[in-house]
Amino acid sequence: MLPNGLPSLFDSAHFGQNAVSVLPLLEAYLSDDSMRGLQLVDPDVLLRKARALMAAEDAAIVPLDRERLKAILQLYIQTGIQVHSPGFMGRQFSGVVPLSGVIDMVSSVVNQPSSFYEAGQLPNVAEHIMADTLNQFIGYHPDVFTMITTSGGSLANLTALLAARNYYYPDVWTNGMAELGGGSYLPAIAISEDAHYSITRAIGILGIGERQIVRLPVNAARQIDIHQVEAIIDRATGDGLKVYCMVASAGSTSVGSFDPIDELGDIANKRNIWLHVDGAHGASLLVSDELRYKLKGVHKADSLTWDAHKMLFVPSPCSMLFYKNKEKSNGAFQQVASYVFDKEPTIYAEFESAERNFECTKRPMIMNLWVLWALHGRALFSGKIDHLCRLARQAHYELEMTEDFVPVNYPECNILCFKYQPLAWNEEELPDLQVEIRNRICARGQFFISKVDIDEQPVLRVVFMNHDTTIAHFRALLHEIAETGKQLIHEYQETVTFKNA
């Protein structure tokens, strides 16, 4: 016998009532164009607030309290990063196209895991459609390439590097990592000094080892210095390492730089090296006629990570992993599981990614992207990308024209790093000035910006993800940074004077 009240919680009318009560909160959130960054709440305070909203434990199902539901959702919205505010300039995720949020809700309710065709028929078909659509900009052979979706770029990077390892060392899957120590050379992976931490994390998971990572130096633009690559690989060979894989960035996390993919592809081809491109952030520039050239030669890469939840503005996660050769993708995982995998090929298996994907139960994340593309086309995405990247270039110009600010990079996409550095100030006297500025700016709650270390020195970092952000908002940010910096310097000088008195 079912507990009292259980059927009503699954009732369609109950769902409709809840949805109607939630919509005004989301509409108010989306329509609020005020400057609001992030107000960090003491975790203990938030813990108490959240616990106070929980129903008392009871043997019976507690009836829904709509006021409590409203209070929970308000707390959820208020304590999050306000990604739809013009003051949000801090991270590489964005406010989503609202329609994609609606599609995400549908996916949550119908609950169709998409690794297998029978569980999610349309998501599997949509995955193929988007693969073909986006491959038009990558340039892989249409009959040979493949794409799978993963829950995040980190998992896509790990899966690609696993496929590369198993391609060059096929016995490892059966015999374990001891197999790698039996040859003349130890397997190694070459990566940029600025590679995302998920790359080194993946290498560690693969068992390659920190000592078998070959670091490729970057030039002044924070791109892999192509003139040093082959010499460094040769040096690694002399040290007993076999570089079988290289990783390039298309839109690095630190400054948004694009490595020379075209030239790296030629080197990889000549030396029989797997080239993986981590394009989690910057691969979306492929859909832009104005900016596609930054990924010149991407068709030479063996694999490519592409996050739609970054510059294609859909809910996270929605990551795509492209392979130049479908056969190579099959080596990432090698299992027999009769409860999900068929021994004989079927017309459905061609549309499934389960055997090439770590996840068994996987959200139908591609639906958020496919529906938007189906209804609005490429221009929705390319138009916003072009606008945000132009805004970053405008902001760079503004820095050059403004006293006391020094740009650290020329933006290749929508990421810009800079420093507050008044001429009369010696940076060595207060090395954490940039970090303290960032913390105070965020604490004031109008702007949300980030920071990053460049050459082991902290700098300020903005990421333009909101098309409602204008150059006037950036000027207002610079004004607040300058006022904050002056205050910090004044406080420091007063402290020094007091100590010397």
Say if 66 falls within a structural domain: no
Q: What's the Cα-to-Cα distance from 16 to each of 28, 106, 217, 389, rounded to whole Å?
A: 19, 13, 56, 41
Quote the pLDDT of residue 389. 98
CA pair distance 493, 499, nearest whole angstrom: 10
Return the structure tokens found at 218.
């970057």
The CATH number of residue 343's host domain is 3.40.640.10
Does pLDDT of 182 surpass 70? no
CA pair distance 198, 160, nearest whole angstrom: 12
State the average pLDDT over residues 323-348.
Answer: 67
Quote the pLDDT of residue 494. 75
Quote the pLDDT of residue 188. 95
Quote the domain boundaries for residue 396.
Answer: 380-500
- The helix/strand/coil state of 451 is strand
- Whether residue 368 sits in one domain with residue 400: no
Place of tokens 């910090």: 488
- The helix/strand/coil state of 270 is helix
**What are residue 343's phi and psi, to 5 degrees?**
-70, -35
Neighbour tally for 187: CB within 10 Å: 24
- Whether residue 352 sits in one domain with residue 366: yes
- Whether residue 385 sits in one domain with residue 325: no
Where a domain ends, among 356, 376, 396? 376
Quote the pLDDT of residue 354. 62
- Whether residue 435 sits in one domain with residue 304: no
Quote the pLDDT of residue 171. 84
Does pLDDT of 340 surpass 70? no
CA pair distance 200, 222, nearest whole angstrom: 18
Residue 495 — pLDDT band, cuts 50, 70, 90?
confident
Does pLDDT of 339 surpass 50? no
Q: What's the Cα-to-Cα distance from 369 to each of 126, 311, 315, 318, 499, rounded to whole Å?
A: 9, 11, 9, 8, 59
Does pLDDT of 338 surpass 50? no
Where a domain ends, among 350, 376, 402? 376
Does pLDDT of 336 surpass 50? no
Query: How many domains does the structure of the chain reveal?
Result: 2
Does pLDDT of 341 surpass 50? no
The CATH number of residue 397's host domain is 3.90.1150.170
Where a domain ends, among 349, 376, 403? 376
CA pair distance 369, 365, nearest whole angstrom: 8
**What are residue 424's phi and psi, to 5 degrees?**
-85, 5
Quote the pLDDT of residue 181. 59
Give the per-residue SS3 of 346-402: CCCHHHCCHHHCCCCCCCCCHHHHHHHHHHHCCHHHHHHHHHHHHHHHHHHHHHHCC
Closest among 226, 233, 223 to 188, alpha carbons compared: 233
State the average pLDDT over residues 196-219.
Answer: 92
For the ranges 61-75, 234-248, 258-272, the lowest mean pLDDT is seen at 61-75
